[in-house]
Structure 1
């Protein structure tokens, strides 16, 4: 049985029969996934954590659990902490830049519930610079609004210690927080021009869209050909982008706008198959940073939920 799927109901039962209570795990699944995803930065690991949490939950004497939501958040938080600690060692040997797994969202992220608060890809990159515990505290406090006392209970740490960690993490993130100043209409216009320049091979038009200090990070994970070092400057970035589009392996690729992590972004597709995702920051009317995710193992979160 897949715990991630809604369970069917018997539509023939008598009308007078009371509705079955919703399993707290199902009820709070968005919150639990959002917590795991923002702590880990990968859809795959977040789903694995939820699977483990589901198993633990269904092996628990639920009559002894007074507050199921808090119990589940605590379980997911600690499972994610354990996984993040071990993942850090793996990422030290990762081939090329490591980027978070992109997540397809609705056209208006505000329409979603807890996962609607999924931070941008740029913010997930910043969260990677925190320690595992700092990241857990920041996500629970700043994203989901838990009190220091509640977080202390989740992590089995004194509240005073959690306050100190929270202050340190918030200061760290604020000093590195990405800047955005483009409204939706401007971002949509820039996105359209960027796709047209890439697909038309227009170097000058592409360079005009890039900020003087633009940087591109490319995550291929050693699975596909990708730049293993960040690229800097409009000329280098634009020529690299057009070079990728011109390669024989890129034949048939077309670009399509989509909302990724709550922001208008770009998907590269061959037919219905997604081969990459490009997220970026727009500052002062130009693209300042680009993050190109092409690792095929990190594209599962871009499939529509119905697939």
Structure 2
């Protein structure tokens, strides 16, 4: 079966495909003839005897064979498809064209961007040069004025004093500005360093907590961003429990001679005791 664009044409002797003018079927028999015929050239003779007519509608594929994806047989022809008939080849050619267009567009965009960047750089350079020239000219004019230029004799004592004062003031202002800038920079750097250190410390603390949880009883109290954390060892809690029990068991404690020395062991935090011995928290 020969495929012409979207429609399928039947292979019958000398029958034309339903399509626009141009792609006439190869002659009788409609066998594979004229595949050699390429763009615009007349196709070769089919086995039936008649010539398959060359490129049909404008820019069409060649005679019988035609473009890729079009009808490979002489009977082909018609709408936009390759074989025998109308313009252009099949899907592959379309894809190639699309790719080429995209590449061209990308190249054009890149070239435009590069040109814009170059123009901006040139403009900046020109502006900088102009500014430098203006500054130099101003400096030269000021120097001439200070030396007493511009007609009339050189400046007197008063003028010189004024100039000195102005110079001193300017120097002082510049120094102050520089100091302020340096201080600001130092403060910013310190803040950044502190932030980084805090982040690092937080990370380290979290890791330590995870490690210690298995070994100790923890209590945490959070008050106004101040994290007060106290870790109590199990030994301390045990000693305290023993002490309490002893006091309860001995009559007349803590003043009895049977009582252990009256320096109690270090007391654990109250939040730790209920988790171990709820009965001992009373009394």
TM-score normalised to the size of structure 2?
0.17
From the CA coordinates, give the structure whose radius of gyration is larger: 2
Higher relative contact order (CA 8 A, sep 6+): 1
> Which structure's residues are more often strand, by fraction?
1
TM-score of the aligned structures, taking structure 1 as reference length:
0.16
